[in-house]
Chain A
Amino acid sequence: MRDLVLIVDDVEINRMILREILIDQYDVIEAQDGAETLDILFKQNVRPTAILLDIIMPGMDGFEVLRAVKNHSETHKIPVLFITAADSDTNESRGLKAGAADYVSKPFNPDVVMTRLDSCISLMRYQTELEGLVEKKTAEVTKTYEQTLEVLATIIEYRSLESGEHIRRTTMLTQIMVNEMLKYPHYREILLAQNYESIVKASALHDIGKIGIPDNILLKPGKLTDEEFDIMRTHTSIGRDIIDSILKTLPDNAMYLKYCREICYYHHERWDGKGYPTKLKGEDIPISARILSIVDVYDALVNQRCYKPPFSYDEAVNIIVEGSGTQFDPNLVEVFLKTTETFRQLQESLQD
């Protein structure tokens, strides 16, 4: 099948000459201005392999058309070659900066036009192929990572450190919090920059460090002594150490495991700096861990633990609100309050 080239020029003679130059090797369609170009691309949904685009045209000029092509997800990869009248001005460099793949000058030299067009198309193909490979590779890495997490979660569950339901609920509550945060531009920016899906997945491992806590402390009904509590607290740094050793064997998963590490190590830090193990304060505490501390406490409150009966939803919400600005990030508590109904529904469908 032959590639299709769209020629955009307001002068028919120029289009006819280009058509004649291209026709042995390409199928050609023509547009006489910007409006017709947009109609062909976005109304008729024609997808040319490349576009030859005149700059100076009545109505929309070439730069505006280029912007429209580059701003649309379905056309932004199409190489656009500007048609310029040589020696006239700085249109060549301006066009290249605006995202044109190359340019051809009037008077057209048929060999030059063909060579530049061919190489722009080859380059685009090569790039698309590479992007496909990267996507495939990334999917493989993600899969490995998810399998790693599943294995670890199974270990936690098997050792009865936490019930499987608590782990599943934590993940889901974290997902609900993240979904709510995405509605705020401030958090949206932060989360999109941080690959937030990984935060959600990593939340399942927040208590993995409890593997290193002796059963007589971990499963003790009632209050822990100060000494026992000191040992209990080490589950944060044990968790970090476990993730660090995994990082050594699976360096490809560094980005994902980074969140596991943060969450394990910092999910008992407090907004006012009185938490453990490092007494980090405020926004110095990674956002993943700040989310987790709310989610973890809430879930612990509304479910039964070996050391306490369940609280009601309203009591649990009140305790979180009371901790706003001391134990918890006050902004995140505000986000949390928007999710309480969803949290409650989830709790009711997933009781321990």
Chain B
Amino acid sequence: MENDTNVYINAEDGVKRVGGNMALYKKLLTRFAEGNYLESLTTELENGSLEGAANMAHTIKGVSANLSLTKVNEISAALESALKNGKPHDELYAQLKTAAAATIERINSL
């Protein structure tokens, strides 16, 4: 589980960003877990708004970068680019959903 968690959350890197304040870092991770980011993205896609979905992927990319959520960050960046360039995005969306669920699960068990 430890090694596995590192794939999703680079805590060492993330905690540095907030001056080594682990309590704050955990609080921010919890905010992310409760943030319904994936749900918002899903809604945009269901409404057929590619621009809205790209913006949401952009938001997820930014916040995951800041929290060092490695996997989510990688996939959301690829998804944003696919959405902006009119490329197929279903597979990336599915990957992001899985990665986000796995990340949130690990955040909740921290």
List chain A positions with a Cβ less than 8 A from chain B: 10-14, 16-17, 20-21, 24, 56, 58, 85-89, 106-110
8 extra interchain contacts, Cβ-Cβ under 8 A, other than A11-B63, A108-B17, A110-B16? A12-B31, A14-B63, A16-B28, A17-B18, A20-B21, A21-B19, A56-B58, A107-B65
> When chains A and B are docked, how far (Å) is the Cα of A86 from the Cα of B62?
9
Q: Is the CB of A108 within 8 A of B19?
A: no
Q: Determine the distance from Cα of A17 to Cα of B66 in the docked complex, in whole angstroms.
A: 8
| Interface residues contributed by chain B, number (CB under 8 Å) | 23
The minimal Cβ–Cβ distance linking A26 to chain B, given in whole angstroms, is 14
Chain B contacts to A: CB under 8 angstroms: 16-19, 21, 24, 28, 31-32, 35, 55, 58-59, 61-63, 65-68, 77, 80, 84
Q: Is the interface of A mostly helix, strand, loop or mixed?
A: loop
Q: Choose among B24, B31, B59 the residue that contacts A56 (Cβ–Cβ < 8 A).
A: B59
Q: How far is the CA of A217 from the CA of B68 in the complex (A)?
A: 93
In the complex, what residues of A have CB within 8 A of residue B77's CB? 87-88
- Name the A residues within 8 Å of B35 (CB-CB): 13
Residue pair A13, B80 in contact (C-beta under 8 Å): no
Q: Which of A13, A16, A21, A85 contacts B61 (CB 8 A)?
A: A85
Q: Which residue of B lies closest to A105 (CB)?
A: B65
Known contacts A85-B65, A107-B65; is A21 also within 8 Å of B28 by CB? no
Q: What is the minimal beta-carbon distance from B68 to any residue of chain A, in angstroms?
A: 7
Residues of chain B contacted by A21 (CB below 8 angstroms) = 17-19
Chain B binding surface SS class: helix
Q: Are A11 and B17 in contact (CB under 8 A)?
A: no
- Interchain CA distance A87-B73 in the complex, whole Å: 12
Contact of A108 among B31, B55, B66 (CB under 8 A): B66
Complex Cα spacing A83 to B61, Å:
13
Q: Are A13 and B28 in contact (CB under 8 A)?
A: yes
Instruction: For A86, give the chain B residue with the smallest CB separation.
Output: B65
Give the complex CA separation of A21 and B31 in angstroms: 18
The answer to whether A20 and B58 touch across the interface, beta carbons within 8 angstroms, is no
Q: Known contacts A85-B58, A88-B80, A107-B68: does B63 contact A13 (CB below 8 Å)?
A: yes
Contact between chains at B59 and A88 (CB < 8 Å)? no
Give the docked Cα–Cα distance between A11 and B32 (Å): 10
CB-nearest residue of chain B to A24: B19
